[in-house]
Amino acid sequence: MFGWEFPPHIAGGLGTACEGIVKGLAHNGVETLFVMPSASGDEDQSATTILNASDVAVAYASDTVDEFLDKVKFLQVDSSIVPYVDPEEYFEAIEKMKKEQVHETTVGFGQKFKFSGKYGANLLEEVSRYAQVGGTIAMQHADEFDLIHAHDWLTYLAGIAAKELTGKPLVVHVHATSFDRGSEDMIDTRVFAIEKRGMEAADRVVTVSDLTRSIVINKYGIDPAKVVTVHNAVDFSGRENISVERGVHEKVVTFLGRITFQKGPEYFIEAAAKVLKRTKNVRFVMAGSGDMMNRAIRQVARLGISDRFHFTGFLRGADVQKMFALSDVYIMPSVSEPFGISPLEAMRSNVPSIISKQSGAAEVLKYALKVDFWDVDALADDIYALIQYPALASFAEKEGYDEVNNLKWNNATAKLKKVYESLL
Amino acid sequence: MKKSICLYFQVHQPTRLRQYRFFDIGKDSHYYDDFTNRTILKRVAERCYLPMNKVLLEAIKENGGKFKVAFSLSGSVLEQFDRYAPEVIDSFRELVQTGCVEILGETYYHSLSSLIAPSEFKHQVLKHKDMVQQYFGVTPTAFRNTELIYSNDIGAQVYDLGFKTMLTEGARHIMGWKSPDYVYSCEGKKSLKLLLRNYQLSDDISFRFDNPAWCEWPLTAEKYLGWLKAADGEIVNLFMDYETFGEHRSADSGIMEFMKALPALALADGGLEFVTPSEATRRHKAVDELSVPEAISWADEERDTSAWLGNELQQDAFNKLYGLTEKLSILNDPVLWGDFGHLAESDHLYYMCTKFFSDGEVHRYFNPYDTPFEAFINYMNVLSDFIIRVNEAIATKQ
């Protein structure tokens, strides 16, 4: 299994999902070797064996070397690519890079790469190197595995290299697509090309929602017969809900996540302004950071609601739980969300949630309220209803809690195991 | 008639806010970063206030009382002196006792109340006046508003509060062809005399003094004296931050030696005299009325109020704060008034300024926050807690 990150050192939800998947697979009797670019050594290896790509030297046998390089050298590694930035940041990164010495991938015999395993400006270079190391690892461990599973575009090339060199079946797992990161006409074509290549080379494509499945079929032109949805789950084991003394008496409505175009922060702000016109018994919190944060702050100030609309900045670990514990309503107004794990976390913390219909989570959550992301009036209505009508809130809270507790990785990975079995 | 030199120094330190998080709202109502405030105050006292007061005191004594200066001390900085460095108050008191130092009136909290709330403005000016009487035993007769903010309307209010002289900026867009080196009067309130800052000669000391890239660097007292004499009016008003000396411009630059040398040199010349602002307006007649319909200040290239109220963040924070004055008047609680006052310090709004390109350097120097957005978030979190306290107090009272 090729991944990019694994708890505890994670930047996004991908690492958490990977952990849930390997644990769930272990429960279902499937062993995994988990390859990642930069392991720290403090990962929980109870359910998987972690292979650190930074520790592996790329060794080339005579004939296979050329073949191997042929496979990976279609990549131009002199250009910068960043998965989650806006055009301005991208421009700045390019400008910065121009000033620095540009790295060429000169692969020597027996050379180790030091991966950052992050999402930095030289990501494409790392992706290319990871593919080479991935291929090498696959050859070294060829008799230890039956199937290759690659998570998101960062690892697809490694998956392809491993498949080419070992002939074993490849499953690519689509946690997000380029269309979730940019808008329709502004996707990164180089990432798109890698994604498409990975999906085409794969024997099965697993998507985290039907929403993502239809993107894979319609936007990437993949044969529907080989695209399977396995909805995400969430691992709440060992988690106790904390209780926090409240400082504010009003109801608290929370948005928690990256403040980016994809997450729809402006719809939340507009809805907040509408609700505040009708009741003062409410405060809104936008927790997180991102490239739209400053714009969001300006929007709040312009609407004149900054005494009722608070920003916390990026929250870590315990503060996230604290924020949920302080919330009465959770909002995920995403414009495009392949799945969206945060409302599950909120509902597990007894917080009723309103999510956009344009999210994968909407396919599995029956007890979350659902609105179109652009329908600010509907969002305002639902917020108002949840804070004003206790019967609705307590119903959504109780049923939602039970519902998310039943979304287990063990069930999701049982489905995944069937996918594997169909290929062996 | 000798040409007058009027030196005035602004002494102020903001009451900086601690990092105040959303989670603190409604739970913890201590808003201030006491450690930073103490650290900075003690540092500036050591580098600037104490040594520079000594320089000025010696200059007054050496020149037999012919060297004169004026200060404004905000209530905010005086509270910090009281708490962290009371010896600074003694040293100012010693200066005032020479009779050669005038203390000016201003708003107690270095606030922008003059732009929005006349009654609050009056309240803060009188509070400041009481403080000056209590600490220094003198009653201010000349006024300088926060950051030299002035308009016809503000001038009229200041006059009604009993001041005869007011200091402001010789802003180019107001002066046009007129020279700032004369006394003017307020349009509509002829008896209020205006002293206008000569920004060229003031900034030579406060901004350019230690800049080796400046074509006049290094600036000597002799050279500067030549410029003072060349100024063609009746009075040269040199207004600047007191922290220029030893803090903004380090002592290594020789700025204190410069100020040590200047008084004797200027007096020896024979054609120059030092005056305090109130003396200046007694000595010189107003040559014209000055019409200032829109507020001006000494800040940035624009010389207006855009450094504090230029963007929507600043305006929203400002309106939310002043929206509380009515409730606060009903409550009349000294603790709430105190926090309100500290939140009204103009510095908090200055930190939210987004004019990064022309005056960014100056703004960054004074700003404890990385971005104006951080400044806004932190301020609004504090203000949200304060609003809760005000509303709870109102509810209890009813």
For the segment B355-388, what is each residue's pLDDT rounded down to a tens digit?
Answer: 765 555 666 667 788 888 889 999 999 999 999 9
Our CA dihedral for A152, A366, A211, A384, rounded to 10 degrees, sits at -100
Residues of chain A positioned with their CB less than 8 A from the CB of B24: 247
Length reported for chain A: 424
Mark whether A18 and A134 lie in a shared domain.
yes
Cβ atoms of residues B185 and B164 within 8 Å: no
Domain residues for B380?
Answer: 306-397
Enclosing domain of residue A282: 251-404
Instruction: Sort out which chain A residues have CB atoms less than 8 A from B390's CB and list them.
Output: none
Query: How far apart (Å, rounded) are the C-alpha atoms in residues A416 and A233?
Result: 12
In tens, the pLDDT along A243-300 reads 888 888 999 999 999 899 889 999 999 999 999 999 999 999 999 999 899 999 999 9
CA A25 centroid distance within chain: 19
If you average pLDDT over residues B208-221, what whole number do you get? 94
Mutate to test the interface with A, among B23, B315, B392, B396 (most CBs of A within 10 A): B23
Cα A233 from Cα A196, distance rounded (Å): 25
Pick from B22, B24, B384 the residue to mutate for testing the A interface (most A CBs within 10 Å): B22
Residue B298 lies inside a defined structural domain of this protein: no
Same domain, B263 and B311: no
Q: Does B24 contact A306 at a Cβ distance shorter than 8 Å?
A: no
User: Is B295 part of a structural domain of the chain?
Assistant: no
Phi, psi of A33 (to 5 degrees): -110, 120
Q: What is the CATH number of the domain that holds A256?
A: 3.40.50.2000
Biggest alpha carbon–alpha carbon distance for chain A: 74
For residue B300, tell me if it sits in a domain.
Answer: no
Among B27, B315, B384, whose Cβ lies nearest the Cβ of A307? B384
In chain A, what residues touch B386 (CB-CB under 8 Å)?
none
Same domain, B93 and B132: yes
Instruction: Check A301 against B313: CB less than 8 A apart.
Output: yes
Are the Cβ atoms of B26 and A302 closer than 8 angstroms? no
Residues of B with CB under 8 A from a CB of A: 21-28, 311-313, 315-317, 319-320, 371, 373-374, 376-377, 380-381, 383-385, 387-388
Q: Are residues A228 and A262 in the same domain?
A: no
What pTM does this model have? 0.83
Would you call B21 and A312 a contact, using CB atoms and an 8 Å cutoff? yes
As for how many domains chain B has, the answer is 2
Cβ contact (<8 Å) for B22 and A285? yes
By Cβ distance, the residue of B27, B373, B380 closest to A310 is B380
Contact A180, A42 (CB under 8 A): no
Helices (H), A253-359: 265-278, 293-302, 317-326, 342-348
Of A357, A342, A375, the residue nearest A271 (C-alpha): A375
The amino acid that residue A243 corresponds to is: S
How many domains, chain A? 2
Same-domain pairing of B354 and B252: no
pLDDT of residue B359: 54
Q: For B159-171, how does the pLDDT look when each residue is reduced to its tens digit (9 = 90+)?
A: 999 999 999 999 9
The answer to whether residues B261 and B312 belong to one domain is no
Please indicate, yes or no, whether residues A267 and A301 belong to a single structural domain of this protein: yes
Burial class (CB in 10 A: 0-12, 13-18, 19+), B32: middle
Q: Which of A245, A293, A310 sits opposite B384 (nearest CB)?
A: A310
Nearest CA in chain B to A293: B373
Both B30 and B149 in one domain: the answer is yes
Q: A5 lies in a domain?
A: no
Tell me the C-alpha distance between A83 and A350, whole Å.
33
Q: In this predicted structure, which of A101-110, A131-140, A166-175, B281-290 has the lowest mean pLDDT?
A: A101-110
Q: CB of A298 within 8 Å of any CB in chain B?
A: yes
* Domain end residue (candidates: B290, B321, B355): B290
Same domain? For B222 and B87 the reply is: yes
Is A422:A204 a contact under the CB 8 Å cutoff? yes
C-alpha Rg value of chain A to the nearest Å? 22
Residue A315 in any domain: the answer is yes
Which residues make beta-bridge pairs with A228?
Answer: A206
Q: Which of B316, B320, B390 to probe the A interface (max A CBs under 10 A)?
A: B316
Co-location of B314 and B285 in the same domain: no
Of all residues in chain A, the percent with pLDDT exceeding 90 is 60
Give the bridge partners for A321, in sequence order. Answer: none
Active site residues of B: 147
- Answer whether residue B296 is part of any domain: no
Domain termination residue (choose one: B237, B255, B290):
B290
Chain A segment 230-269 residues within 8 A of B by beta carbon are 245-249
Mark whether A351 and A283 lie in a shared domain: yes
Q: Is A317 on the interface with B (CB under 8 A)?
A: no
Whether A244 is in a domain gets the answer: no
Residue with the bigger pLDDT between A59 and A289: it is A289
B147 and B81 belong to one structural domain: yes
Q: Which pLDDT score, from 0 to 100, does residue A101 have?
A: 42
Are the Cβ atoms of A247 and B373 closer than 8 angstroms? no
Contact A319 B384 (CB under 8 A): no
Residue B368 lies in a domain: yes
Q: What is the ipTM of this complex?
A: 0.79
pLDDT at A54 over 90: no
Write the residue in A302, A307, A322 that is nearest to B23 by C-beta: A322
Question: Does the beta carbon of A319 lie under 8 angstroms from any beta carbon of chain B?
Answer: yes
* Per-residue pLDDT reduced to its tens digit, B275-318: 999 999 999 999 999 999 999 999 888 899 999 999 999 999 99
Tell me which residue in A293, A298, A310 faces B312 most closely, judged by beta carbons: A298
Question: Which residues on neighbouring strands pair with residue B395, listed in sequence order?
Answer: none
Q: Are residues B279 and B362 in the same domain?
A: no
The helices-and-strands tally (H runs, E runs) of chain A is 16, 14
Query: Is the Cα torsion angle B63, B66, B67, B69 positive or negative in sign?
Result: positive
Joined together, the tokens standing for residue A367 give 């007890």
Same domain, B155 and B232: yes
Residues B216 and B348 in one domain: no
Are B109 and B60 in the same domain?
Answer: yes
